[in-house]
Amino acid sequence: MYTLSRRASSETQHISKSAEVFHMTLGLLKEKANRRHRRSLPVSELLSVKAVEWIANLSGCPQTFQPTTCASEGKYRSISGVCNNRKNPLWGAANTGLARWLPAEYEDGENQPKGWNAGRQYSGFQLPLVREVSNKIMRGSSTSILEDNAYSQMLVDWGQYIDHDISFTPQSSSQTAFSEGQDCLHACTNANPCFPMQIPKDDKLSRNKSCLPFFRSSPACLNGQTDALHVRQQMNSITSFIDASTVYGHSADLEEILRNLSGSDGLLAVNSKYTDEGQPYLPFVSVQPSACLQDPGSERVECFAAGDSRVNEILPLSVLHTLWVREHNRLAKHLTRLNPHWGSEVIYQETRKIIGALHQIITMRDYVPKIIGREAFDEYIGPYEGYNDSVNPSVSNVFATAAFRFGHVTISPVLRRLNESFQEHEHFSSLNLHQTFFSPWRLIKEGGLDPVLRGLLGRPAALQSQDHLMTEELTERLVVLNIPETLDLAALNLQRGRDHGLPGYNDWRLFCGFDRVETRSDLAEVIGNDVLVEKVMDLYGHPNNIDVWLGGVLERPLSGARTGPLFACLIGKQMKTLREGDRFWWEHPGVFSPKQRQELQRHSLSRVICDNSGVTEVPLDPFRVETYPEDFLFCGNIPSLDLEEWKEQPDDNIRLKFTYTLLFVCLFVHILI
């Protein structure tokens, strides 16, 4: 979520640098040709597809167009997602381009974001400054936060956690402009990769500056579309699949770091310095001292290491990551007892397979229907019909950059920490949101996971209100590591959409089969708030210009949903591709036995909390806000996963061979005697 804090893996950084060299080379060639011809020419008119591929390879990009050979058999998914689809091995794999459901819209047709060229008009109007949009629309007219009477804070934080399982767009590997050499932290002019957010005068965040820093997303090397190789695409540095890459990572190097390779029971590494009432914490990062914030005057606590580098962004994320590492080790130990003949690698892979399945079940069964509503779920996703190798599961640009960021308007300004009676904790008070950023020390020194978990389960989520769309904790006090000032998440979202060349709100309405919004009355019909419509139209001038993220979050939610029609469509379509295009989806015949699938369905996030924390009472559905104590159950009443269905008898043939060998040895010894 907090974009500028992201640190990509070494493999991703290498590809990112190569991609930047590639795009910079195309830009220089284009610039030279334009000077010669005295007019602007697209790269497609200057270079053939073969020439573009050749330049990409010389830049150090992986040779994407060379065929990848996939093994005909393979019981477990690869850590990088490669070869999930044997016909298209890179679909959904880490370090490949985000999918484009609609063509990108850049100001030069190839690379420049919307708003790059001063004075450029759209439908007769200039695009408004993103910070101005945030100030005038996101803050609204009310300071009060509405509470969701149906769903708990856990719903919000699971959304962020699962988003980090399927998409991670790294920012540029460079902090300075390629041509001018200016520092993007201080520059207020556009020069790749600097795309600063201009701010109005007398703005709270101005601090005598005319802009806030913004780094463009790193381009992908090649986008896989041979007809548009030269058009900038952004990268997904992790696997698109719901595969618990948050726990295991997305590359062989990271996976090895996260494993405990010293034992024979397939465990993940845990913290060697601290425990949480005997339960393990995540291990610390290897490079120390790390950038995480510290408790003044106290012993250092480093950043946690996990399958996703964003683990430290906010305390609930760190808590969920920790829960799943504990659950892996708990299941792995049980499987080792059941199947001592398996060995470390099989134990690890079988446990990883179960953990991935649970991520899929909790997300698709318990989370998505609440977000988009049951009606939209049935329309866009429907019942599982099996694996389809013609479905590309890659996460789409509009989903990662706009639709799944709907949750930012449901974030509470306060993180509640509760005691065993689900009341305010006597020793560890609730925290303002900005106090939870990059602060793993608060878990280790302030009560561990349990007070935070009870706050997530026992308090309602913030309910989106058109009178107050986003808390000032995010628009005025967003903390980002390595950035010396606080930022604005709403402005970052809008600028990121422009950086990625996302088409506008109306184009996506058409994509989903809805009518275009042409007039103020049309807009009033989908938003339902005349005051808000006037503000939007005064800023944008024309409905075509509305940024897709803003248009999506302003729509009235569907019945029983937390999104409007557009985002319900885009999220639903994406979730369907993630399910249908995954050869290892838990329901796909052959991945698990029918009895194993039956057991997996019994499991729940509530049970994972029971088995891996000190919380002893939970709601049956952790995403629903319930009243304590009457609607909470003791953990003993929550169904659990019975691993007996994973017990494997050694093959009878092996037993027979062993018997014959033993008889032969006995006979041989008898003869010798």
Mean pLDDT, residues 529-535: 94
Least confident of 51-65, 181-195, 263-277: 51-65
Mean pLDDT, residues 356-364: 98
Q: Which string of DSSP letters, residue by residue, matches 243-279? A: S-HHHH-SSHHHHHHHB-TTSSS-PBP--SS-EETTE
Q: Is the pLDDT of residue 58 over 90?
A: no
Q: Could you count the other beta carbons within 10 Å of the beta carbon of residue 403?
A: 24
Q: Which member of 14, 37, 164, 542 is catalytic?
A: 164
Give the closest residue to 66 by CA, choosing from 75, 56, 74, 76: 56
Alpha helices by DSSP H, listed for 408-470, are 441-445, 450-458
612: left (phi over 0), alpha (psi -120 to 50) or beta: alpha
Q: Is the pLDDT of residue 386 over 50?
A: yes
pLDDT of residue 227: 54
Binding positions for heme b are 408
Phi, psi of 8 (to 5 degrees): -80, 160
Taking only the tens place, the pLDDT of each residue in 499-511 is 999 999 999 999 9
pLDDT of residue 40: 74
Q: How confident is the model at residue 659 (pLDDT cuts 50, 70, 90)?
A: very low
Taking only the tens place, the pLDDT of each residue in 218-272 is 999 865 555 567 789 999 999 999 999 999 999 999 999 999 999 889 999 999 9
pLDDT of residue 321: 98
pLDDT of residue 31: 80
pLDDT of residue 660: 41
Taking only the tens place, the pLDDT of each residue in 609-633 is 999 999 999 999 999 999 999 999 9
| SS3 at position 509 | helix
Per the model's pLDDT, the better-predicted residue between 185 and 598 turns out to be 598
Q: Is the pLDDT of residue 383 over 90?
A: yes
pTM: 0.93
In whole angstroms, how far apart are CA 439 and each of 315, 421, 443, 480, 619? 7, 25, 8, 12, 28
pLDDT of residue 149: 93
Q: How confident is the model at residue 142 (pLDDT cuts 50, 70, 90)?
A: low
Q: Determine the Cα–Cα distance for residues 469 and 407; give it in Å rounded to an integer.
A: 11
Taking only the tens place, the pLDDT of each residue in 557-574 is 999 999 999 999 999 999
Mean pLDDT, residues 202-212: 80
Mean pLDDT, residues 490-519: 97
Percent of the chain with pLDDT over 70: 92
pLDDT of residue 345: 96
Known catalytic residue: 164?
yes
Least confident of 66-70, 288-292, 369-373: 66-70
Beta bridge partners of 437: 314
User: With respect to CATH, is domain 3-637 assigned 1.10.640.10?
Assistant: yes
Mean pLDDT, residues 469-473: 85
Pull the structure tokens for residue 625: 């806000």
Residues 6+ apart with CB under 8 A from 335: 266, 342, 347, 350, 351, 643, 646
Q: Determine the Cα–Cα distance for residues 170 and 400; give it in Å rounded to an integer.
A: 12
Per the model's pLDDT, the better-predicted residue between 469 and 313 turns out to be 313
Whether the CA torsion 527, 529, 534, 536 is positive or negative: it is negative
Q: Which string of DSSP letters, residue by residue, matches 123-180? A: TTEEPPPHHHHIIIIIS-S----EEEEEEEHHHHHHHHHHHHHH---PBPS-SB-TTT
Q: Is the pLDDT of residue 32 over 50?
A: yes
Q: Could you count the other beta carbons within 10 Å of the beta carbon of residue 380?
A: 19
Mean pLDDT, residues 395-403: 98
Q: Is the pLDDT of residue 647 over 80?
A: yes
